[in-house]
Amino acid sequence: MSLLGRGIRDEKFLFSISVIGSLVFGAMTVADAWVLGWATDHVIRPSFARGDVAEGALFAAIALFMAVAILRALGVIGRRLIGGIVYYRLVATYRRKVTRKYLALPMSWHHRHPTGQLLSNANADVEAAWAVFMPLPMAIGVIAMLVAAIVAMLAADVVLTLVGLVVFPALFLINVYYQRWLSPKVAHAQSLRGAVSAVAHESFDGAMVVKSLGRESDETERFKRVTEELRDANIEAGRIRSMFDPLLEALPSFGILLVIVLGVGRVASGAADPGDVVSVAYLFTVVAFPVRAIGWVLGELPRSVVGWNRVESVLDERGSMSYGDDSLPGSGPVALDVQSVSFQFADTDRDVLKGIDLEVEPGKVVAVVGATGSGKSTLTSLLTRLVDPNAGTISVDGVDIRELTHDELARAIAVVPQGTFLFDDSVRANVTLGGDYTDEDVWAALRTVQADRFVSALPRGLDSELGERGTTLSGGQRQRLSLARALVRNPRLLVMDDATSAVDPEVEQRILKALAVHTSDADGPTVLVVAYRKATIALADEVVFLDDGVIAERGSHDELIARSADYRNLVNAYDQAREALS
């Protein structure tokens, strides 16, 4: 009931209109039975008795039937059209709420939830949650129709009505048992939809890996297993529906048959008029419709409840990241101060970073170097507040980044992540991401990252569509656009997480030199770059060597080469690998 109440409150005006339309439809359906009985007693029987048709009575009956039909048609339009609008508005509203919640939740929450499940929550689960609102306005209206029909039947013939109504307790018991049997089956099928989405997302996202390693058959088999499970679960739920639907259809028909059999005897004995029997029999056909409509609502409820529970579990998450009210003073590069920062992922007891202390002066370039798993990417996530540390503070210009407003944090700090993501949109849209930047701003950023030449060569320049995930570009070109996306914002702190790994070394040299010139300007950013190539490291003012979550060494590249064997082995490994391949 809480689900129904929430939906009605959210769309109370339109829902009320759809219910009124349903009430009009129900009232006119009952009126049809009265007109039919009236026509039987005042037009059909007299015509048989006299041998001719009274034109006035005939036209009156036709007029009554037409008036009822027109009003009923208007009721159907109001019920179905407005009811459909209510359903689709609720689906759109809660899809937006779910996706906004996803954006508000921290990355630590997203790490614990597979993408396929999130897609299922925002799509199939939201649709399932509000599916009950498609038949609900009709069900509410036909309840009134059911009451009106029973009153009309009692007014026509009490005995026939009471005899026919014996089917209703049986219908109620069948519906109760039906819901209890169907609910767990529907819940299982709904959970499997999330599993299918998860497998499909992994397979499509990793299509290049799958095809390059020749694992198509394995992925097909994996997808086949979960889809067959979903198929079997849906068939099981459908089997239960197929057993109960005929019963729900047959019982009202059994009541009609009972009324006709007894009605013939009552007419023969003079206890009832033929018009009353016709009215009661017709009204029982009318009553069968409300029973089916209520059954449709009850049939959708288990699926809706399951879908809503899954949606509500997302909306009720309290892991959203709170922001402060502070802004950064002044302009230009900022000073970075990391004090005693430690971090560990949820459900683990291992610290990825352990008591990190790091100070970076405004406008300086610091290279972070370390082996795989040393904590480099985690440090970049902390600096850009994708996650918060378990202990310690991170400050820029003396302000804890947790105290900055969300907008100020986004303006001041930009990150170029290790994994590049481009949208299925134009070059301009991928660089600006909807920001208010001129084409000259975009071209300036593209020139800095050595991307202006290949963008100019595209068929439509900045308006060229890149395809999903930028599939029309090479890996290095995608990385350069990702870097331009950060630079166009003129950030005060630029964090690069191995952002040029797919770029040719010679092009990387030009990018880094242009970036060094950019950072030497008064308005250039402070730069922290995760690097492993000597060319990148050599441009840094200072190198920080991470080893197993702690800062093992700090100093210039030459100083670390001279005094740290581990650092020397690590930075030389790339050149040695290249020489071995050449």
For residue 540, the model assigns a pLDDT of: 81
Span 249-298, pLDDT tens digits: 677 777 777 777 777 777 777 777 776 777 677 777 766 666 666 666 76
| Residue 221 φ/ψ, nearest 5 degrees | -65, -40
Let me know: does 373 contact 345? Beta carbons within 8 Å. no
User: 3-class SS at 51?
Assistant: coil
Span 320-371, pLDDT tens digits: 677 888 888 877 888 889 898 888 876 677 778 888 888 888 888 888 888 8
**In whole angstroms, what is the distance from residue 452 CA to residue 386 CA?**
30
**In whole angstroms, what is the distance from residue 358 CA to residue 340 CA?**
9
**In whole angstroms, what is the distance from residue 12 CA to residue 54 CA?**
49
DSSP states of 171-214 as a string? HHHHHHHHHHHHHHHHHHHHHHHHHHHHHHHHHHHTHHHHHHTT
**In whole angstroms, what is the distance from residue 83 CA to residue 140 CA?**
12
Between 119 and 336, residue with greater pLDDT: 336
**In whole angstroms, what is the distance from residue 480 CA to residue 510 CA?**
12
Q: pLDDT class for 521, splitting at 50, 70, 90?
A: low
Domain annotation for the chain: domains and CATH numbers: 2-315 (1.20.1560.10), 336-581 (3.40.50.300)
Which structure tokens are listed for 197? 């989405």
For residue 520, the model assigns a pLDDT of: 55
Q: What interhelical angle do 12-39 and 136-156 show, nearest 10?
A: 30
| Residue 388 φ/ψ, nearest 5 degrees | -105, 150
Bridge-based pairing of strands 526-530 and 493-497 is parallel
Q: Which helix (H) or strand (E) holds 539?
A: none
User: 3-class SS at 146?
Assistant: helix
The least confident of 123-127, 286-290, 313-317, 389-393 is: 286-290
Bridge-based pairing of strands 353-360 and 336-343 is antiparallel
* pTM of the model as a whole: 0.64
Q: What interhelical angle do 274-315 and 83-104 show, nearest 10?
A: 10
For residue 319, the model assigns a pLDDT of: 63
Environment class of 160 (CB within 10 Å of its CB; exposed 0-12, middle 13-18, buried 19+): buried
Instruction: Single out the residue of 485, 491, 553 nearest to residue 527, CA to CA.
Output: 491
Residue 87 reports pLDDT greater than 80: yes
